[in-house]
Amino acid sequence: MVITKDIKYIGVNDKKIDLFEGQFMVENGMAYNSYVILDEKVAVFDTADKNFGEEWLKNLKNALNGRTPDYLIVSHMEPDHSANIKNFADSYKDAKIVASEKAFSMMGQFFGSDFADRKIAVKEGDTLLLGKHTLTFYTAPMVHWPEVIVTYDDVDKILFSADAFGKFGTLDTDEDWACEARRYYFGIVGKYGVQANALLNKALKLDIKTICPLHGPILSENLEYYLNLYKIWTSYGVETDGVVICYTSVYGGTKAAAELLAEELKKGGCPKVAVNDLARCDMAEAVEDAFRYGKIVLATTTYNAEIFPFMRIFIDELLERNFQNKTVGIIENGTWTPMAEKVIKARFEKSKNITFAENAVHIRSVMTDKNKDEITALAQELLK
């Protein structure tokens, strides 16, 4: 695939993977992107997952058309991109390796060598002249590991953005970008909003025509749309006006309450109502919904003087990603010694800018008329 006259795509599509990073379901697989700039000097951007060494080296060889690379630029040391650094180094013995100092120490850990004799360590603002193209490196710590760098090409105005602006799914998957990019962002980088926002601010100062991420499609049209979503995501803002209801239910009582609330919200004109059964849905989908909307309702039973396990896991997933700036409604259920409301409130004690809805719902086994009134009151409050 040709990106510009001098830049080619040499990445691979992984259609066999089931769990990305050992935890995220990827029904449509994953792309490990890699690029090559053919100028007076030749620079390769990143490698690919270990299962694709041969295919990636073949793609590189085809793109080189008889030339040899001068540089391998290592943006990120996570093995989905770095696994073939040694294979590359063995195949092209004169090529230098360009990366952050931290990345070189990680190479020592992964490959038993930090390639000291071929090493070019770069830091913020350093440049590399390829001929016509000058590359400028920017550090992007914790997007998504500490050693990450991104690179700007001043000729084609391309940002090689590492994991930022990435998405689940192979490149030949036809699906909504935002849906799988949001699940990817909050799943993988969500905890590091501050750092991702700092990278975004660096990027906004550059004149960018194309973003080449390490996963997902190359972005070259309507960049404002993608940059704007990243502004919202990295600042834990509200992307979509609406409410997400996340529930667990043992015998259906809590589920019935969650569904009644959804109905009341829709009847009241709520622009979007999303409902997730935490025992059955993809937890990563529920997590992205929690960050997408400004209002969330947690409906759960008391369980072992705590809350139901799937809700406990879900809240942990949110807290781990610095969940903040939301209104939280609670529907609790408990046949004896109900604890859920108290437990949920305590879990968010240290979270920034969480406002609990005044109208909580307190079910004692199954919904009563009083509970229905509580649900109406909660719906009305959330609709304001």
Nearest CB to ligand FEO, comparing residues 146 and 309:
146
Which among 77-85, 306-314, 317-325, 344-352 is the span making contact with ligand FEO, rule CB under 6 A?
Answer: 77-85
Residues 202-261 that bind ligand FEO (CB under 6 A): 214-215
Based on the shown chain and the rule CB under 6 A, indicate whether residue 76 belongs to the binding site for ligand FEO. Answer: yes
81 binds ligand FEO (CB under 6 A): yes
Q: Are 218 and 235 in contact (CB under 8 A)?
A: no
Closest to 306 measured CA to CA, from 344, 255, 356, 257: 344
Does 8 engage in binding with ligand FEO (CB under 6 A)? no
Q: Which residues of 198-220 are buried (b: 16+ CB within 10 A; e: fewer)?
A: bbbeebeeeebebbbbbbbbbbe
Q: How far is the CB of 365 from ligand FEO (least distance, A)?
A: 46
**Nearest residue (CB) to ligand FEO, 46 versus 289:** 46
CA 100 vs. chain centroid, Å, equals 22
| Residue closer to ligand FEO (CB basis): 191 or 209 | 191
Exposure string of 51-73, with b = 16+ CB inside 10 Å and e = fewer, is ebbebbbebbeebbeeeebbbbb
How near is the Cβ of 92 to ligand FEO at its closest, in Å?
23
Site string for ligand FEO, 110-149 (x = CB under 6 A): ----------------------------------x-----
Q: What are all long-range contacts of 200-209, with beta carbons under 8 Å and residues at least 24 apart?
A: 200/164, 200/227, 200/230, 200/231, 200/234, 202/138, 202/140, 202/150, 203/150, 203/159, 203/161, 203/164, 203/227, 206/152, 206/157, 206/159, 207/157, 208/152, 208/157, 208/158, 208/159, 209/156, 209/157, 209/158
Phi, psi (rounded to 5 degrees) for 123:
-130, 180
Assigned token pair, 28:
């449509």
Binding of residue 163 to ligand FEO (CB under 6 A): yes
Least distance in Å: CB of 78 to ligand FEO? 4
Please say which residue, 52 or 314, places its beta carbon nearer to ligand FEO.
52
* 3 state DSSP class of 291: helix
CA 201/CA 146 separation, integer angstroms: 18
Angle, CA of 225, 286 and 197, to the nearest 5°: 40
Q: Which is nearer to ligand FEO, 46 or 264 (CB)?
A: 46
78 counts as binding ligand FEO under rule CB under 6 A: yes
Considering beta carbons, is residue 148 or 344 the nearer one to ligand FEO?
Answer: 148
Q: Which residues, 12 to 71, sit near ligand FEO by CB under 6 A?
A: none
The yes or no reply on residue 183 touching ligand FEO (CB under 6 A) is no
Residue 167 sits in the site that holds ligand FEO (CB under 6 A): no
Which residue's CB atom is positioned nearest to ligand FEO? 78
Euclidean distance between CA atoms 275 and 263, whole angstroms = 11
Q: Is 295 in the site for ligand FEO (CB under 6 A)?
A: no
Question: CB 210 → ligand FEO: shortest distance, Å?
Answer: 19
Choice between 215 and 292, CB closer to ligand FEO: 215
Q: Is residue 80 within the footprint of ligand FEO (CB under 6 A)?
A: yes
Closest to ligand FEO by CB, 189 vs 344, is 189
In the complex, the residues that contact ligand FEO under the rule CB under 6 A are 76, 78, 80-81, 144, 163, 214-215
